[in-house]
Amino acid sequence: MSSPVLECIPNISEGRDPAVVDRVVAAVAAVDGVTVLDHMSDTDHNRSVITFLGAPEAVLDGALALCRAAYEAIDMSRHSGAHPRFGAVDVLPLVPVRELSMDAAARYAHDLGRRIGELGVPVFFYEAAALSPERRDLAEVRRGQYEGLAERFAGGERPDAGPAQLNPRTGAIAVGARPPLIAFNVNLAGDDLVMAQRIADAVRSRTGGYECVKGMGVALPDKGQVQVSMNLTDFTRTPIHRVVETIRSEAARHGVPIVACELIGLAPLAAFEEVVRHYLQIPDFTSGQVIETHLL
């Protein structure tokens, strides 16, 4: 029988100092039974996404090692960046990959969250690990960002684990369990942030766009561009190419082209089957026609 595999995709609030990112990644890689698959940093967002997997208990140990390293190296009171955030380790989702149910992943998230709380960090559980309906949505959990945490705690709000007070250095953390998602960004020419925000409104589900799309418009001052930054939570219901073509059409109305697209972290191969079918017009294409698929 196959052994259980759990994936972890923490986002840390550091994307400008490679030495710090390398230190955090090395802390994870040093844990027996964990394989680091990928890490990617963005200077405008000032954020890095790290992907690793392994047996569940090893992954929890790796996640805790990552948190300790990040809390030593990152001071949230000095952090700035284009991406919403409220902690040095901002979000830490667990994704069941093999022989694990979502309920099991949520239980692992609760165990991990309690261990992080013992480090003196406020912990909020989200998505499938949420303990209340209003905390399922990450945007609501991160409401007010880092700067709003002290006011939230002063007003009587309590985290799900850890202290109900601001730790100025670490901020808070959102620990969750969820299915795989695709973090996908579309960069547009020019610096019209209002345009990017309107286009994000046009494609994201909660403002009338496509289902299973979360998005926002952000400025990329280092590139002199703006971005529609998205999470595609179910590519089978809203494929990548559909969102990209809508953004292209909306931007063209303003005379603005797409400069580039970005895939953040890893994504399922099946998501790109739809892209090939659409753009190369091969309606019956499958990943089974890719040589490397058979080597795996």
**pLDDT given for residue 175 in this prediction:** 98
Whether CATH 3.30.70.670 fits 182-295: yes
- Residue 4's identity, in one-letter code, is P
83 is catalytic: yes
Give backbone dihedrals phi and psi of 252, rounded to 5 degrees, phi first: -65, -30
For 39-92, write each residue's pLDDT tens digit. 999 999 999 999 999 999 999 999 999 999 999 999 999 999 999 999 999 999
120's CB contacts (< 8 A; 6+ apart) are 162, 163, 167, 170
Tell me the β-bridge partners of 261: 186
On the question of pLDDT at 296 being above 90, the answer is: no
* Half-sphere exposure in the Cβ direction for 86 (13 Å, CA): 27
Once rounded to an integer, what is the mean pLDDT over residues 270-290? 94
Is residue 148 within 8 A of residue 211, CB to CB? The reply is no
In the block, tokens 């082209």 appear at 257
- DSSP SS3 for 74: coil
**pLDDT given for residue 2 in this prediction:** 79
131's CB contacts (< 8 A; 6+ apart) are 125, 160
Once rounded to an integer, what is the mean pLDDT over residues 5-25? 98
> Given 39, 79, 83, 294, which residue is catalytic?
83
Exposed (0-12), middle (13-18) or buried (19+): which is 94, by Cβ within 10 Å?
A: buried
The average confidence (pLDDT) of the chain is 96
On the question of pLDDT at 10 being above 70, the answer is: yes
Exposed (0-12), middle (13-18) or buried (19+): which is 266, by Cβ within 10 Å?
A: middle
For 78-134, write each residue's pLDDT tens digit. 999 999 999 999 999 999 999 999 999 999 999 999 999 999 999 999 999 999 999
Once rounded to an integer, what is the mean pLDDT over residues 266-286? 94
190's CB contacts (< 8 A; 6+ apart) are 224, 225, 226, 256
CB count, 10 Å around CB of 22? Answer: 12
In the block, tokens 């959102």 appear at 174
Once rounded to an integer, what is the mean pLDDT over residues 265-286? 93
Is residue 11 within 8 A of residue 63, CB to CB? The reply is no
**pLDDT given for residue 1 in this prediction:** 58
Domain ranges of the chain: 5-177, 182-295
**pLDDT given for residue 185 in this prediction:** 98
CATH for 5-177?
A: 3.30.990.10
Element counts in the chain: helices (H) and strands (E): 9, 11
